[in-house]
Structures are given as structure tokens and as C-alpha cells.
Structure 1
Amino acid sequence: MRSNEIRTKFLKFFEGRGHRIVRSSSLVPANDPTLLFTNAGMNQFKDVFLGREKRDYARACSSQKCVRAGGKHNDLEQVGRTRRHHTFFEMLGNFSFGDYFKADAIPWAWELITKDFAIPKEKLYATIFEGLKDAKANIPRDSEAYDLWRSVGVPANRIFELGMKDNFWQMGDTGPCGPCSEIHYDMGPAASDLGHADCKFPCDCGRYVEIWNLVFMQFNRDDQGQMTPLPRPSIDTGAGLERIAAVLQGKLSNFDTDLFRPLIDEAAALVPQGGIEYGAHHDADVSLRIIADHARASTFLISDGVLPSNEGRGYVLRLIMRRALYHGQTLGMNEPFLYKLSSRVVDMMKDAYPELSETAHHVAKAIKIEEERYEKTTSLGIQELKDNGRVVTYLGNETSFYMWQDKFPYFRHYLPNQLAALMKDPLSAVIRFDQSKRTAPPQNVSWIPGDQLFRLHDTFGLRPDFVADIVGNYGLEVDWQGYNAEMEKQRERARASWKGAEKKTAAPAYQQLAEKQQTVFDGYTQVKSSDCKIVALVQKGQPIPEAKAGQEIEIVLDHTPFYAEAGGQVGDTGRFFAPDGDQELAYITDTYRPASGVTAHKATARDTLRVGDIVTAVVDSDRRDAIRRNHTATHLLHAALRTTLGTHVKQAGSLVAPDRLRFDFSHYAELGEQDLLDIEDLVNQHILKNEEVRTDLMEIDQALATGAMALFGEKYGDRVRVLSVADGSFSRELCGGTHVSRTGDIGLFKVVSEGSVAAGTRRIEAITGLGVLEHIRKADETLGMVGETLRAKPDEVLEAAQKLAEAEKKLRKQLDAQQMKRAAAEAGDLLDQARDVKGVRVVSARVEGVSRSAMRQMVDQLRAKMGSGVIALGAVADGKAALIIGVTQDLTARLDAGKIVREAATLMEGSGGGRKDLAEAGGKNPDKLDACVQAVPGIVEKML
């Protein structure tokens, strides 16, 4: 049975039993700072299980996209080396939110796998929770599950009782939890990773594979560890599609199923010089499996809006991609290849996940750009090793193949043609050490410190095991402890960047309120609401019964016209009044959602407020109107970008404020001046047409069927608001924000900046309405001031500025010429100051009143006159310290100008580099320039 059929059969089975088929959520969790990636089917239903969110169905089923490659659930290093570990996988699941329980879940699971999937009963085992009794908890054995398994026909000798580690599930230290029951399949002795021929269940050698886990949420654990039964227990199940496919397709490994094998075969065919055969060599097979798995993960993550970067989710994606590229290199694939596999992933998975078709071009482009960046950084990494004097050349001769296999075990799995491909400069992965220049490391000191090893990995893409394998053949070591410490620091930075400072767990007061009462937003059509009841007053996270005038507090109402910050739109400000509308009770400075369904108003009390009081809530209407203009303008901008640049453009973030809008989007090149003009013109054309902006409330599936765009990473309910411009012919998006009723209300649209915020992500900032008028007035004012300075009329300013620039250019040329003459005159005097350092003449001096270009000419003249030696000149040019080092060609085998200048520059808090014969550095501390210049002879002496 093919995987597409398995997925469909699973969903249709549960749909026929009253379940709503719910589409997979994004791999980027919506509003859940506890998760790096979506890693289970229940993630999107978390708030439903916790009682914080209501749905119009009590039964659901899904095929959920999942990634486990970071945080607690991290399978990255195991992928490709085992039969069943993956970064990206699909989790089939059925869920009950207080509806049915074990008596239905177990028989349905057994029916599906033994009848619909026709898996032999004699190959299956079931597990139940054995119970626990200790000082904190007394959890009984799950006898109910045992009896149900027996009732469907599972023999007693095939039901096993396991403990907390294997058969008890909990969402966290507190909250819903309960026993679970697993179904395992006997893959046979050939599947044993340990070669067991006659082991028995539950041996964990790999023979017995879990294919379905049924979680029974029936308890609530408090902060003391005590568990009490839930009034409405729930069901959460998870079945790995890849594992079920392996069972139904008769494969020992998930990688041999139709979900992976086409990708593996295509990767094998892409290996240079005719490709390789999968299954012919163990190490090459591992690399092919890693490439196939990581191609799936990269494709789906980028499709869901993640892009390679140096922090958070983007950093994990970069690790995944570079691991695939590294293994491609070991097979001789030195040209971009992963982007080609992404197209194959799209072809294989687009029927189940239609969004892949929409993002295919964008995904392939993003992957190819990262591949090109990887090639560049690894080239620089090899050069970094060479520059340090540790690796000085590479072996580019295929006749030395057997010598390399003998000296470097790392390369023993290569065929000669693969090794030859790997030796192509500049990647030069096959490299040797110049032993005549290698000096032994100090005793007990690693040859490559951990921080440098981490830099080679993180900055240049050289895997640490690659570096360690090379240097290990010479009896040298790397500092693994230091490397691991640097990696942990990077992980902490990644965790901090995706959790975000403001995304903390809601205060208990708000968590409790979310379970009892939701705030109704009634501000789409009005900015004033009467008879609003204060249901909570909160100060520093704690509930208070009343607040006095002057106190900074947060106020929760039963209904409000104030929009809480969401979807990039900032929260409303305004005031609360007494019911008669005269007395001001509170000034509202911001509005946000501290917990799902709860709106909190940050406020300064103007009078005494008590829980239960009735107030009239009034939004700052002028500010709201400005926000509405900017929010609708972002929709017009998004549509204009897609029209002008292509449908690969997707929103990557936004800010909608009263004074401006900011829009981040996926695109790979800087927008030209004409592009920006075309986009600006298109938006303004639709504004001038004064088109209707209509909002419709509809079911999510119906909305998507109309072509409405949904933003991945945003959380949508079952019913959504669909915003359409020009009856949807120009723009149609899901959006819960506030908007104008006609495009003409926006007034005018003006782009004020465009730039890059990350690889493959651009940002436009723009203004609308009165903001554009203010922008024009300021521009006119600036133009007038420039005209006064240049003594020119506004229409003559450009010509006057061009003449001034030309005059300045001529003066600079004259100044440079004078400096050159002075430099030539001083060259002889400087040569007289040369010192002898171990037989090498060294000139080190500070010169005054010269530019960098003049200094370079002085260095060239001195080298020519000296014949053989080192020149070091320092000067303060343009307010900054500068140092230039020149080495004559006959000495470059022993002395490197780049190394000299780098070491000297540290004395003036600077950095630099260059060639062996000429290098430059700049410094932040001009006061240390003299010390820097004077240090050069000593640096030269150490190098000789």
C-alpha cells in the first residue's frame, strides 16, 4: 500500500466515525513559545485540551507535518544511521476532546490496523501502564485498557505492562496527563540492530517497532504532584506514517519506502561521473539517506516560512541543510544539488500538502542560495586553516589515492573518482600538513582550541569530526570540551531568540481567567462600547480587588472595542469612562492578549476601580483610523509585490502602527528603483479607484477554497475573517485586524525604505494618508535648506551639487598629488631608519598628514628602493588609525604581511588582513598607533 493511500485511508476511517479532518498546522508553532518546531499531532490542539479554546467539533483527525531537530526532541545526529530516525516526519492521529474515550479508541485502532490495513494480528503486541505508587502519586494499573485489548482479541501473552518512562504521558510538570497504550509490530529477526535471532518482546534491539501510541488524558497533575481525575477525559493518538508505510510495504527500513527511496535514487544519480548504486557501500548509503531526509525537512521548513539564518529556527534549518551538503561533498557533489531534490519532494508530497506547489520556486531558490553560501564559507574555512599555517596545500593527484586511504581512515570509503572530485580547489577537502613547518603543541594543550574549532564549523561550515579526523592522523587533538561549551552557548542563543523576551508563560491569574471567561471583541464596527464589566484587575501578575487613582494596572473587561495587539497590528489606546460618560476612570496605554481569549488593557487608573464595576470603553479614534489605513495598505502592498515580483513572495512579518507600516517578505534580490516605483504606483492606483474592502466570516476550509491567503505561523480558528479588495480580484487574505471600508480612505501610499533583514527576506517601510503629506513637506523643507546653502533655486539644486562634487574631486586629486611628492621625498629618510632583525631590514615609522593611498605609494617606493625587507607605516587618516605592512617578494616564504598586521593591530583595538606581500589594518584607538608601529620589529623577529 502506497503512502498516499495509507494517509487517505487513515483520515477517511476516522471521518466515517464522526471526526473532522483538520489540515496540518504549520511547522512553525502558532503562539507557543515552548516549541521550536511542531513535533506532534496534538500541538495544534494544545489549547483545546487545556480548555483555553473551544472548537465546534469534539472529534478530530489529521496528518501533521512534524520536525524533531532541536530542543528536547532532537534526532538529528541519528538520522541516516538508523532505520527509523528522521528530522521531518508525518504523524497520523485521532483526537477526542472530552467526547469518546478508551472504549472507542482501542477497538477503532485495532480495527483499522488489522482489517483496513490488514496487518497480521500475530505480528502485533500491545502495552499498557503498569501503575505507580509512591509518596506523591498513587496511579492504578490501567486495567481498563488491558480488558479492552483482550476484548478485541489480543492474547494475554501479547499484552505487556510497562512503567512511567514508556507508558505514561504528560504535557508538562503540571496539567493534563495519563497512561498510554502502544501498538508494536514485529519486523522479524532481520530488523534487529544487534543481530538478535531469537529475542522476545519488548527487546529494544530494533526488531519490535512502535507504530501507534494511544494517550489517555484522564488526570490533572497539580504543582504538588498530586493527580486528580479529569471530569472529561480526552484521547490523543499518534501513528508515524513512515513506520506504517515500512510495515505495509514490507520494508525493514523507512528509507526503503516510497516516501524516501525515490529521493535516495535521485541523489545517487546526481553523484558525478555516472552516479553510484545505493546499497553498494555502507558509508555512502548513510550519506544518501541523510541527504534524502534533510531534503524533505528543508523543503517543508522553507515552505512554511523558515529561512536559513544564524539564530533560532533558521539556525537549526541551516544545520540540517549544511549536514546534507557536507554529506554530498563526501560523495563528490561539489555543485549545488539539494535544490534539485527539493523539486522532487514537492512532486511527491504536493497532493497531500498543496502549499508546496505554491512555494516550490521560492523553496528551490532559497536552498540554492544557501548551497552557494555554503560553498563560499567552506572555501574560506579551508583558507582559514591554510592561513594559520596548519594546512598549506592539497593533494590533487589521483595516483596518490592509496596513500590517502592509508594515512586518512576518514577517506577509506571513497572510490578514486569520488576522491578526485573532492580534491578540486578551492574546497580542497583532501588536504595535508607541511610537517617540516609543523610544531608540536604544548604539553596537554589541544592543537585546535575549542573556540577555533567551533568557528571553523559555525562560520565556515567545516564539520568538527572532519577536522578531528585529519589532525588525529598526526597524533594531534582537538578541544572537544571547549567546542561543546561553545555549541551550548549557541544553543542558548538560539533558544533565547525563538522564545523571545515577551513570549513568557501567562501569569496564573490570566490562565485561570482564560478557562472561565473569554473577552468578546466588539470593535470592528465601533470605537465605543457601553456597559463593559470589569472582570479582573491585575497588578504585577497578581489579581487585585480594586485599584486607586495613579496605580499602573491591567484591566480585563467582559467585552471591549479595544483591539489587542495581534497579526502585526499594534494594540489600541484610549480611555475608560463612568457609565454616564463624564468621569474618566482610566487612561489606556496599550492592549494585548496575555492568554488565549483574554484581552488586557494596560492602564493608569484616574479614579478608584473595582472588579464588577461597569465602564464605557472609548478607543482613540484618530489613532485607530491611522492604523486601519496602514493595515489595509499592507494587504495592497502584499498583492502589489506578488503582481510585480512573482507569486513566490510571501509575507514574513509585519508591523502596523499609526505612523507607519513595515512589511517583511520573501525575495532574493534588492528591489530596483523601477520595481519600487511600479509597486508604489500599483498600490496607489487601487487607492484612487476607491474599491470596496469587504470582510466575510466563513469556515476556514471554505475560505481557503476561495483562494484566500493564509500566513503560515499564524493561528486560525475554525471560522475566519476574510478580507477582500476589489471583490477579491486583487487581494484576498485571512485577517482578524481592523481595516478601512474603501481603499480611497487610505489617501496615498509612499515607500520610504527597502532593504534586507535576512537571507532571502526583504523589508519595505511605508507611510499612508497624512503621513505622506508630512513626508512631502519635510522633503520640501530639506530641499529649500540645501538650496539656501548652495545659493540655488530648488530646480537648480542638483546642478549646483554636481558642480560642488566635481570641485571637491579636483581638490582631492591636487592634495593627493602633493602628498605623493612628499612621500617620495621622505622615502630616503625612512630607509636610513631601517633596523636589522635577524638579517632582515625592517622600517617601522609613523608618518603624518598622508592619506591611505599615499601611504600605499610610500610602501611601494620603499620596497622598490630597499630590495629586500619589511616596511611598516602608520598614520592617522580621516580620524582613524591605519597601519600598512609591505614585505618584499623574496621574504614572503618566511614572512606574511597579513599575519604581521593582524597581530600588530590588536594593540590599537583593530583588525586587518591582506596578501603576504601587502596588508592593511585599521584601529579604534589612535592613541595606541605608536605602540603598534614600534611592535612590528618584534613580531617580525618571532616569525623568523
Structure 2
Amino acid sequence: MEKLGMNEIREKYLSFFESKGHLRLPSFSLVPKNDKSLLLINAGMAPLKPYFTGKEIPPSRRVTTCQKCIRTPDIDRVGKTARHGTFFEMLGNFSFGDYFKKEAIPWAWEFVTKVLELPEDRLWVTIYENDDEAFEIWNKVVGLPPERIVRMGKEDNFWEIGTGPCGPCSEIYFDRGEDKGCGKPTCGVGCDCDRFIEFWNLVFTQFDKDAEGNYNPLPKPNIDTGMGLERIATIMQEVDSIFDVDVIRGITDYVGKMAGVKYGADKKSDVSLRVITDHIRGVTFMISDGILPSNEGRGYVLRRLLRRAARYGKLLGLDRPFLYDVVDVVVEHYKGAYPEIQERKEYIKKVIKKEEERFKETIDQGLDILDGYINDLKASGKNVLEGSKAFKLYDTYGFPIELTKEILSESGMSVDEDGYQKELENQRLRARSSRKEDNALWEKDIYSTMKDIETKFVGYEAFKSDAKVLAIIKDDELVNSAEAGEEVNIILDMTPFYAESGGQVGDSGIIKSEDVYINIKDCKKAGGNKFVHIGTIERGILNVGDTVEAIIDEKNRMSTARNHTATHLLHSALRKFIGDHVHQAGSLVTPDRLRFDFTHYQALTAYEIKMIEDEVNEKIYESIGVSIDIMSQDEAIKKGAMALFQEKYGDVVRVVNISDYSKELCGGTHVTNTIQIGAFKIIAESGVAAGVRRIEAVTGLGALEFLNKKGELISNIEQILKVNEKDIVDRIADLSQTIKDLERQLEQLKSKVVLSMSDKLINSAEDINGIKFVSATLNDLDVDELKMMGDILKDRLKSTVIILATIRDEKINFVGMATKDAIERGINVGNIIREICQVADGKGGGRADMAQGVGNNLEKINIALETSRSLFIEKLK
């Protein structure tokens, strides 16, 4: 067999199934669309679920893809084994009720033996134990000897998730040779050793499992196959690890060169190199698909991968941000199959670099915490750090256990690794229980049962149309009729109503006939091309089969169109003045306003906002024609049309062209000339996530109304300040300066009060074994003034521990401070504050030298302060 590269195998697979009548689709985004059961796409079939369930009509009954995937359950094993990774590519061929086993099995055999030229005598297959049909095809049609067809039980060779579509599967294995085996007499397919490697799973979805556990045959069974690209490349290139495959090894070697280490020379550094190589691939593709680092959801997965890679870089001596540089190598290897990462490369690098810099600050905080732990251990005469504290460093501050152990060893200390592992396992159990497989997407909704119902949309050309009622849904059930006062969902055979899509809200309006009047408040799309009109019957009785007239609210439609076309102008203006890294990251277009989210790392200046606003208005007043062109997606991209991050387009697309200024793929409604927008006014600019900004704007009459309200506001300010409009700014500046002067005087008075009070506290300080102890309630001071008082006392008393309290807003605020020599003698005010806050039914904590907290029980303030003195005496050595 030829040692094919990953990129060659990918292309051969997709081309092969194209020759078998399959439509090649590009990889779907890693962000699941309309699928709450998944955080990230984790299998080739995952984005195709709506086609399998009938909720949506596939673009072809035969499809082939190479799908990028992320899986994180085994993230802690990545780097430590040759097989585990979080990012991978899944090759697949799919049939939606078209062909079945007698085609899928021979095609699979043809591909692996004729195209990849794998030796037939080293191929084995497994089938479900009761699947005689698959056995006959493998044996009689393909010609595979019976002894190389292994029957396995339900656990291994039957695919199902709860209820819904399911079926037997057949897996293809490659025998890597006796030298890779375990040597046991029982060694064979299914053994845990590295000899027999499974690389392709053919799933025959032929049953529908109901709630009672019955397996009902599907009238049109499906085919779902998955072949791991990295795994088949490992076989083809005769290497032992996915990290030795050509494309991946290129990234690993680059990272090794950066760090000055060679892959394969040291087991410890190899782990770091593998982690970085795996994670940077996943990170690159996640950011390309519009995901940004955050503390929840898929953003948290991205942040965790990024930080895990960064901290393993630290173990290699890479203390500076470096991951963003590795993106160049990832893009170079993958841009042929995924050209979008080349287009978004600079943006991806900026996101990564920003997160690396943020992580460096976090890990520096972790070092401070670890230093505090070391000081506490020294003070208590111990040399083993608790496992829970080591885990906190890992979980909160990104410290790998290896780094913690290394730093502790420099002080002659170690970690309770059993305790650490226990905390780690507890976290895994919590993660598993919180993300059980959700079957919601496999459950049939009322719309997926309507196989032959479709709506023709005529709303691009018309504001009203005659239509026939195809279905009425009331309380999630199909009904034949509905009457006045009832809320219903109506599906028509034809409609001018735009269904919510691409950020544009659905149309409102009416459906009527001579006897019926229905107020429609919204329109949405259901499975396939079903337009669901949501409304209330105001008069009459509506029946399935009735002929009605559907009329949209023309005024609302035009207002929405103005705002939608304005978003396209805004997008182009942002790219012109802010940079090519700007991409749409979300939008909302309503009749009242537009909201546009875009990728950018800092707030726009007032000057930039004005330039963008002026640019859009200039294009409006140039009276540019807005044309709509229908063409193939490839042709549209070649002509420079922009596609959005997470949108999926069909073969034929709609291009909205505003001269040569803006050209975007878009299914929304638009004006025919920019002059119809009237005016454009930005009313807000803000941040919505790391690296994402938001602009809100109004157009037409909305812009006029906004400006009128501004005029009223200025008029009111004139009356209050008793000045003319031209003098408002100067008057406010004078008032602002007066306020600053008064605030400065107030601060000076506060300092004098604190100084005078400090004399009394110094006189009341108690000397205990050479350390002064001060505790007091100072209700005349706020928390910041307590801190000021603490600093003054530390400076004047030299060797001291200070615990101060004040009552504010029905809560006790505690502040604690300690000098260095007190800490060396065993004092940790973070622990003292934590305990006295608990006495007062609250929470608190902090560092050994400074801490604060809150108590909720005002009656326990004196007990808390007495407790602080007892703790001070107890801990002082």
C-alpha cells in the first residue's frame, strides 16, 4: 500500500463517493445549529441529524463529508497516549432513505482495497451478532472469508441513543501484525492491544426504537458511516501514533523547534509537544467558526484547550505567548481543505495572543497563591501540600500538577497526589452527570411527521398572495379546524411572510378570507420548507383546505428591509475603517432597529464611530441600486461575496449586491435602492464578549425619532442649567470641576479623621509576645477608609496584626492586615478573616498579609472580634 498523506486520503475519499452519486458538502461549523443536545460537533453525522429525523430536507439523498470534530471527555489523556486527541476529522458517507447495506458494504470494501490498496489479507470486519444480512454481503458479495467476519454483541456493534433511529453496525479493522499484539492466545479483533485497529464504522440505521423498547423497522433505512482520518493515515503511513502522521508531525516538529526540544528524545517533553499540537489544531478551527474564549459553554472548552496548551508550553520553557505563532503552520497544512482558516488567520492569531496574555496574568496569580501555600507549610512545619489545594491551583489558575510538584520540590516539599487524583475524579464525575446525552433532537416533533408538506415563499416579489391551508397546529397537535379566540400555527402552500432567519425577524400581518380573520404576529421555519404562521383567530372558523389571502404588514417589512440593507453597508464600512479582520459575529434585524455584532478587540473611538456613520450615510445618499443575483456558491465566493461564520448555504445562493461596495450571501429582504434607507444613526457601541463588539443603530423614521428625542433632551438640559445650547458643554465642565474640587476636599477631611482616630487605636494596641494586636469597630468609616486606617497602623506600629470592622448597608465589613514578621510567626489574616466571617454568618478570606470579608449577623460583631483575638493568640509562635 502507498504511504498516502492526510490531505491525499481526504480527497480520495470524497472523490470516490462523489463518483458514487454523493453530494460533497464542506465541513459544517463546529458550532451545532439548532441542536441543544451538543456543545460542539463531535461526529460526522452530528450536523446531519435533522436530515435523518426528517426535520429538514437534505440537499441530496446521498451526501459525503469530511467533518471537523471536537471531543473532550478524555482531555486529560491527551498527550499521555498515542491515540487520544480532542480535535479530529471524520470522513463519512450518508444515505437518507436511498441506498442501504448491499451498496454501502461493497463500496467500503472497494475504497479500502482498490483506492487505498490496503492488503485484503490484513482486513477484518465485525458485525452485529444477529445481522445475517450483513454477513451474507461481506461473505458472498465481497468475498471475505467467514473466519474474518466476527460477530459481536449489542454493546460493540449496535448503535442507539435512548429512543429513536438506531441499528446494527459493521466495523472494519486492520491487522498491524503480530509484533504489535499482546502475545496472548486469545488476541484477536476486539483485543485491547495495538494489533487490530478499527478505522471505519458502517452504521445501518434500520429501526425506530419506541418508549416501550420495541424496535420498529424504518420504511426507509439510512446509512451513516464514519472513518477517522487521522487513524486511517496512521495505518497508511505505518506509524505508531496520530502525532507521527505527516500533517500533525509537521506541527509537532515546529513546536519542538520553538522550544529547543526534539520530539521522541524525552517522554516528558513529548507529552507537552503532543498536548500543544492537538490543542492548537482544535483552537484554530474553533475560533475560525466564531467561538471565543469565555467562562461558560463552548467558550470555556476553547479557553481550557488554549490554557492547557499554554501551560504545557511553560513546562517546555516557553514563558512568552507562542501559540498564536503556531497558527501559521496549522493554516499552511489545512488551508487546502478548509480555505476559511486562511481568510481568518490574522483574526485567529489575535484572539489566541490576547488569551495567552490574559492567561499569563492568571498563572502569575497562581504563583502568588502557591507561594502563600509554601509559606503556610513552612510556618506549620509541614512539607506535603494538600491534594485539594493542588487541585485548586490546577482548576482555577491553570497549574498542571507537574508544575506544582516542580516548584514545591525546590523547597523540599511534595504534593498529596492521592488527594489530588480524588478531586480530579470528582470533577470528572460531576462533568459526566451534568452532560448526559440528550436525546431531544432524535425525538420527533409534530413538523417532522409532515413529510409531504412544503411552503413556497413568494415574499421577495409580493406583499400578499392567495394560499391554501395545508395544516393547522393547536397545542402541539394537528387539528382539522380552529375557531375565534384560539392561538394557532398555520402552514400554507404559498406565503409572502418572511420566516425568521439569518438574524432577520419574521413578518407580521394577517391571513383572511370572507369568513375568517387571523392576526399573525410572527413567522418561523419548521423542518424542511414549512413556513409556520403564528397567530390568533380573531373571527370565524379556519379549516384545513380553506383558500385564504395572506397579507404582510408592509410598513414593518419596509422598515426591516431598511435596517437589513443598512447592516450590509455597516459591515463594509467597518472593514474599510477598522480592518479586514472584522467579520459578522451575529445580528438582529427588526422593524425598529438593527443590532450588528462583529469581531474586534477594542472599543471603537468616537472618531471611528463618526467615520463609519458618515460613510454609511454617504452610501445612502449616493442612491445606489441594490441588486439580487442567484448563482452557485462557488461562483459567488469567486466573485468576492462574503459568507458568514456559522451559516450553511446550499449549492444555489442569493447574493445581495450594493454596487461594488458590498456583496454578501444573504436570504433576507432588502430595499431596491440605498436612498430608501433615508438615514442611518448609530445609537450604541458596546462589548458583548471577548473579541466581539456590538453596534446598535436605527434608520429611516427610527433615526428621525431618535434625533427628535435627543433634541428634547438638550432642551431640558438648557432649562435645568439655565444656559443656551452652545454653552451647555462649558457649563457642565465647570460643574464637573467643582465636584472634583469638593471630592478632593472631602478626601482630605477623611484622611484627617482617620489620622486622628489612629492615635486612639495605637494607644489601645495590645502587645502579645512582641506583636501588637489591634481590633476595633469603626462605624464612621467605610471599607476603603478601613484599609487606609490599616495601612497607617502597619506603618506606625511596625510589628502588628489588625482586625477592623464597620457596619454598612445592614452588613458587617471586616478588614484584616498583618506585617511580614507576624506572618513569619504563623499568622495568616486570610484564615482569621475567613473564620470570623463564619462566626458572623458570612464569608471572607484573602492573603496572609491582607484579607477582607462580610458578616450578615450584626449581633455577632463583638463575638467575631473576640474570636479574632483568640485565633491570633492561638496561631502566634
Alignment partner for residue 543 of structure 1, among 474, 478, 481? 478
1:307-346 equivalences under 5 Å are 307-346=292-331
Distance in structure 1 (CA, Å) of the matches to 2:387 and 2:60: 59
Residue 136 of structure 1 corresponds to: none
Q: 1:835 to 1:53 in 2, by over 3 A?
A: same
Q: Deviations over 1:862-890 (max 9, x none)?
A: 55554543445555689997655554565
Q: 1:504 to 1:638 in 2, by over 3 A?
A: farther
Q: 1:440 to 1:202 in 2, by over 3 A?
A: closer
- In the TM superposition, residue 361 of structure 1 has moved relative to its aligned partner by 0.9
- In the TM superposition, residue 244 of structure 1 has moved relative to its aligned partner by 2.2
SS in 2 for 1:259: helix
Residue 185 of structure 1 corresponds to: 174
- In the TM superposition, residue 386 of structure 1 has moved relative to its aligned partner by 3.4
1:262-661 equivalences under 5 Å are 262-271=250-259, 275-387=260-372, 390-392=373-375, 434-438=377-381, 447-449=386-388, 455-463=392-400, 473=414, 478=419, 484-485=425-426, 508-513=445-450, 515-539=451-475, 541-577=476-512, 579-580=513-514, 585-607=517-539, 608-661=541-594
Residue 667 of structure 1 corresponds to: 600
Distance in structure 2 (CA, Å) of the matches to 1:83 and 1:527: 61
Does 2:189 align with 1:201?
yes
TM score, norm. by length of structure 1 = 0.83
- In the TM superposition, residue 683 of structure 1 has moved relative to its aligned partner by 1.9
Residue pair 1:312, 1:495 contacting (<8 A) in 2 also: no
Q: 1:763 to 1:911 in 2, by over 3 A?
A: farther
Distance in structure 2 (CA, Å) of the matches to 1:305 and 1:805: 42
Residue 104 of structure 1 corresponds to: 103
Residue 113 of structure 2 corresponds to: 114
Residue pair 1:267, 1:292 contacting (<8 A) in 2 also: yes
Partner letter of residue 37 of structure 2? T
Does 2:800 align with 1:869?
yes
Partner letter of residue 290 of structure 2? G
Residue pair 2:474, 2:487 contacting (<8 A) in 1 also: no
Alignment partner for residue 764 of structure 1, among 679, 684, 695? 695
Residue pair 2:569, 2:616 contacting (<8 A) in 1 also: yes
Distance in structure 1 (CA, Å) of the matches to 2:158 and 2:147: 21
Distance in structure 2 (CA, Å) of the matches to 1:678 and 1:909: 55
Partner letter of residue 492 of structure 2? L
Distance in structure 2 (CA, Å) of the matches to 1:220 and 1:507: 11
Distance in structure 1 (CA, Å) of the matches to 2:278 and 2:556: 50
Q: 1:941 to 1:201 in 2, by over 3 A?
A: same
- In the TM superposition, residue 347 of structure 1 has moved relative to its aligned partner by 0.4
Partner letter of residue 453 of structure 2? Q
SS in 2 for 1:575: strand
Residue 228 of structure 2 corresponds to: 240
- In the TM superposition, residue 358 of structure 1 has moved relative to its aligned partner by 0.4
Q: Deviations over 1:802-861 (max 9, x none)?
A: 111222222333333344444444443444444455664433334465577765665555
Q: 1:130 to 1:623 in 2, by over 3 A?
A: same
Residue pair 1:873, 1:885 contacting (<8 A) in 2 also: yes
Is there any run of 5+ residues in structure 1 with no aligned partner, and where?
132-140, 393-432
Residue pair 1:169, 1:180 contacting (<8 A) in 2 also: yes
Does 2:4 align with 1:61?
no
Distance in structure 1 (CA, Å) of the matches to 2:501 and 2:492: 18
Distance in structure 2 (CA, Å) of the matches to 1:640 and 1:647: 11
Residue 735 of structure 1 corresponds to: 666
Distance in structure 1 (CA, Å) of the matches to 2:664 and 2:792: 67
Partner letter of residue 437 of structure 1? S
Partner letter of residue 93 of structure 1? G
Distance in structure 1 (CA, Å) of the matches to 2:82 and 2:789: 66
SS in 1 for 2:254: helix
Q: 1:620 to 1:96 in 2, by over 3 A?
A: same
Does 2:840 align with 1:940?
no
Q: 1:748 to 1:861 in 2, by over 3 A?
A: same
Is there any run of 5+ residues in structure 2 with no aligned partner, and where?
none
Q: 1:670 to 1:898 in 2, by over 3 A?
A: farther
Distance in structure 2 (CA, Å) of the matches to 1:910 and 1:752: 43
Distance in structure 2 (CA, Å) of the matches to 1:871 and 1:507: 66
In terms of mean alpha carbon deviation, does 304-313 or 347-356 score higher? 304-313
1:38-77 equivalences under 5 Å are 38-55=41-58, 57-69=60-72, 74-77=73-76
Q: 1:49 to 1:223 in 2, by over 3 A?
A: same
Residue 31 of structure 2 corresponds to: 28
Residue pair 2:457, 2:496 contacting (<8 A) in 1 also: yes
- In the TM superposition, residue 345 of structure 1 has moved relative to its aligned partner by 0.7
Q: Deviations over 1:706-754 (max 9, x none)?
A: 332222332333332222221xx22222222222222222222222222
Residue pair 1:575, 1:617 contacting (<8 A) in 2 also: yes
Residue pair 1:145, 1:181 contacting (<8 A) in 2 also: no
Partner letter of residue 474 of structure 2? V
Alignment partner for residue 736 of structure 2, among 805, 809, 817? 805
Distance in structure 2 (CA, Å) of the matches to 1:511 and 1:41: 22
Residue pair 1:219, 1:227 contacting (<8 A) in 2 also: yes
Distance in structure 2 (CA, Å) of the matches to 1:207 and 1:818: 81
Distance in structure 1 (CA, Å) of the matches to 2:818 and 2:430: 40
- In the TM superposition, residue 675 of structure 1 has moved relative to its aligned partner by 2.2
Distance in structure 2 (CA, Å) of the matches to 1:52 and 1:824: 74
Residue pair 2:516, 2:542 contacting (<8 A) in 1 also: no
Distance in structure 2 (CA, Å) of the matches to 1:725 and 1:520: 27
Distance in structure 2 (CA, Å) of the matches to 1:60 and 1:847: 74
Q: 1:776 to 1:896 in 2, by over 3 A?
A: farther
Q: Deviations over 1:496-542 (max 9, x none)?
A: 9xx99xx97776322212x2312332222233222341512221x22
Q: 1:482 to 1:5 in 2, by over 3 A?
A: closer
TM score, norm. by length of structure 2 = 0.89
Residue 815 of structure 1 corresponds to: 746
Partner letter of residue 158 of structure 1? R
Alignment partner for residue 650 of structure 2, among 708, 717, 720? 717
Residue 779 of structure 1 corresponds to: 710
Alignment partner for residue 247 of structure 2, among 259, 267, 280? 259
Residue 19 of structure 1 corresponds to: 22
Partner letter of residue 296 of structure 2? E
Partner letter of residue 788 of structure 1? Q
Q: 1:576 to 1:18 in 2, by over 3 A?
A: closer
Residue pair 2:453, 2:470 contacting (<8 A) in 1 also: no
SS in 2 for 1:516: coil
Residue pair 2:35, 2:441 contacting (<8 A) in 1 also: no
SS in 1 for 2:374: coil
Distance in structure 2 (CA, Å) of the matches to 1:857 and 1:44: 58
- In the TM superposition, residue 797 of structure 1 has moved relative to its aligned partner by 0.9
Residue 844 of structure 1 corresponds to: 775
- In the TM superposition, residue 376 of structure 1 has moved relative to its aligned partner by 1.8
Aligned residues: 867
Residue pair 1:655, 1:662 contacting (<8 A) in 2 also: yes
SS in 2 for 1:41: coil
Q: 1:774 to 1:866 in 2, by over 3 A?
A: same
Distance in structure 2 (CA, Å) of the matches to 1:475 and 1:30: 44
Partner letter of residue 391 of structure 1? I
Q: 1:50 to 1:815 in 2, by over 3 A?
A: closer
SS in 2 for 1:122: helix
Q: Deviations over 1:258-291 (max 9, x none)?
A: 12111111121122xxx22222222322322222
